Structure 1
Amino acid sequence: MSGLKIAYSGIEGAFAHIVARRLFPEEGFFSYKSFRKTYEAVESGECDMAVLPIENSYSGEVNDVMDMLFDGKLYVNALYGLPVVQNLLGVRGSRIQDIKKVISQPKALEQCDEYIRSKGFEALQATNTAVAAKQVAQMEDMSVAAIASIETAAIYGLKVLDEQINERDDNTTRFVIMSRDKGCVDIPGQEKSFITVFTVDNVAGALLVPLQIIADYGYNMKVLHSRPLKRYKWQYYFYVEIEGDVTSEMGQKMMSELESACSFAKALGPHYGE
């Protein structure tokens, strides 16, 4: 691939930007202020790929992104798991004992809550970790630190005051890489999987039917989530990640049965990754 335009949420140094650089090191990167704007940039043809977070192992799914997968037209081409290591970043010359306030994205603050409380820091919110780092760099205040990645520290010229301050060392955020077409990303060594989203009638046993169809075809469900349908009160859609190739003959037959059994069903394309 060459000359692709990769959209990501946040600013330079955000985790989505880090993932974009790792997967597409030779391509062009374009930042957007929100998940919605990032998604729409690809839907409209302004960019070719979107990189957005879908789930964190510590704080759960990213609901807005999951809802866009259900409502939108883009296909998922890859899932990429980024180990999230949060660090305390200050301006040059600062020390841990100087810090009174920390700035970061709400989920990052949550992931480091035990550390923050143990140090007696006041926690302030920013839209994402990279914005927090940029703010600290611009403030040049030795009493204020950001919580962000080491890559972000390098981008904004900050000093790493303390490393790996998140409570769990298995903290991972998964990102979806989306495009207008199927099968645009090939990750060597990764197995194919796919995501399907569907709705069922609100009657007893309705959910069992699509789950049984998936099982009857021998597919393994890795993830199952339910999310409210915002346009219908007390109704839900289901998000399922399944191991296997949906483009195979068996995969196509299974999807045909799902579409018949559900009030709505679609596959978001085959993808590589976790």
Structure 2
Amino acid sequence: MASKAVAVWGSYVSQLGREDSGSRRSGFALNWNRDIERSCKFGRIGVSGDLAALLATKPVEDENPASPTVELQRLVEQYGNNESKRLHKDVNSLPRPLSVTDLSPSAKNGLNVRVAYQGVPGAYSEAAALKAYPQCEAVPCDQFEAAFKAVELWLVDKAVLPIENSLGGSIHRNYDLLLRHRLHIVGEVQLAVNHCLLGLPGVRKEELKRILSHPQALAQCENTLSKLGVVRESVDDTAGAAQFVAASGLRDTGAVASARAAEIYGLNILEEKIQDDSVNITRFLILAREPIIPRTDRPFKTSIVFTLEEGPGVIFKALAVFALRDINLTKIESRPQRKQPLRVVDDSNTGRARYFDYLFYIDFEASMAEPRAQNALGNLQEFATFLRVLGSYPMDTVL
């Protein structure tokens, strides 16, 4: 059977190992380690002294000058002490070598890290960025794609973007952008979302005729908004809706946004927690230019995308590679291929059948540092026409 090329973390693997033996390292694992090593850079330092200049120093004359031998010994000891102090100073001025724990997404609480998010200040994405990196500089972007490009162009260090919500489902736009851009998932953030109904000071909610917000937020507050009998209008983000209401001064217009947005733009909170379900969680992905080193000392999640040949049982076989190795799947998402959405199959005597050609996105609970994860993907590559690892990263278990 001909070997198929697989795009993995920016490199191509021609053939993966097919053995489940822990003593053998597959091509997948070797390629993984090579990609990680490329992101590490090492330098050398040197410490020098000038003994000749020190020995040329003229000693202070006294009544009992020391012998030349004693004086030379004194000068050598003085040089040694000075050189030792200089070496100690130089070593202390060097950057501390990074440890594995420094490479986690929340290193130094995000100090001096610039993090892009979609929206304006007060957006839930900004709150997610600050949860991931409490001391970061949050950089607003007008669209999701702008946040991706900001990372690629080195304008920011990371991007935090929503990928799914417990009520509204997946954000398909960001699934498409994950494949289009060569960024890596280095972490996730789960954020509890509490929608508030906002209005201008002095306005009662019964006076509102129109409500602005992001389409997902409007959908998550369907019951409350239906009872109010208001007209719903979609905007790019929740905080942007609050900003518009404050700037326009329209007393019959409200917004669905966060309590922080109300504080920033000077609006009143007319009602809190108006979402249909009290448990409303949005999951965000943290994206970076380089992957992080996967570990096994804490729960990890790995995200992949792949395509399959058309045929009976191929999806079953794809999922079986994880079940056989006791790997739990947490997310399965399918998206039609944008450049080649249809596949024509000549499987009948009367005509040619047309099928959608899908990309399959899967999240599973295992680190790429584990042999079982490497072997599962090696097995999947045997019948996948395309396979790419989007990231292997720590799970967020704290709300």
TM-score by length of 1: 0.93
1:16-27 pair list within 5 angstroms: 16-27=125-136
**Following TM superposition, by how much is the alpha carbon of 1:230 offset from its aligned partner in structure 2, in angstroms?**
0.9
Does 1:195 pair with 2:303? yes
2:343 corresponds to 1:235: no
> Which residue of the partner structure matches residue 30 of structure 1?
139
| Kept in 1: contact 2:185–2:392 (CA 8 A) | yes
For 1:109-133, what per-residue CA distance to the aligned partner results, in whole angstroms no more than 9, with x for missing partners?
1111221121121222211101100
Aligned-pair distance for 1:261? 2.6
Counterpart mapping for 1:63-212 below 5 A: 63-183=172-292, 191-212=299-320
Instruction: Give the TM-score normalised by structure 2.
Output: 0.65
Which residue identity does 1:199 align to in structure 2?
A: T
User: Match for residue 382 of structure 2?
Assistant: 260
Deviation of 1:184 after TM superposition, in Å, equals 7.6
Deviations 1:93-119 (A, max 9, x none): 222232222111112111112211211
Q: Do the aligned residues in 2 keep the contact of 1:77 with 1:184 (CA within 8 Å)? A: no
Give the CA deviation at 1:195. 0.8
Shift of 1:166: 1.1
CA distance in 1, matches of 2:173, 2:282: 15
Q: What secondary structure, in the 3-state scheme, does the structure 1 residue paired with 2:155 have?
A: coil
**Partners in 1 of 2:294 and 2:196 — Cα distance?**
31
Match of 1:214 in 2: 322
Q: What is the DSSP-based 3-state SS (H/G/I as helix, E as strand, rest coil) of the residue aligned with 2:379? A: helix
Give the equivalent residue in structure 2 for 1:9: 118
CA-to-aligned-CA distance 1:217-268 (integer Å, 9 cap, x gap): 2211111111111111220011111011122233222222222331111222
| Structure 2 alignment gaps of length 5 or more | 1-107, 343-355
Which residue is 2:51 aligned to? none
Cα distance in 2 for residues equivalent to 1:185 and 1:88 = 42
Hey, what does 2:393 align to over in structure 1? Answer: 271
Larger radius of gyration: 2
Helix, strand or coil: the match of 1:263?
Answer: strand
Aligned CA distance change for structure 1 residues 68 and 210 (closer, same or farther; 3 Å): same
**C-alpha deviation, 1:32, in angstroms:** 1.1
Letter in 2 for 1:98: E
State the alpha-carbon separation in 2 of the partners of residues 256 and 169 from structure 1. 42
Which moves more between the two structures, 14-23 or 246-255?
246-255
1:190 CA drift (Å): 6.2
Q: Runs (4+) of structure 1 moved beyond 3 Å?
A: none
Question: Residue 185 of structure 1: CA displacement?
Answer: 10
Whole-angstrom CA distance in 2 between matches of 1:247 and 1:262:
22
CA contact (8 A) 1:77 1:185 kept: no
Q: Residues 40 and 98 of structure 1: is their aligned pair in 2 closer, same or farther, counting only changes over 3 Å?
A: same
Amino acid at match of 1:127: D
Q: Please say if 1:247 is aligned against 2:355.
A: no
Q: Secondary structure at the match of 1:134?
A: helix
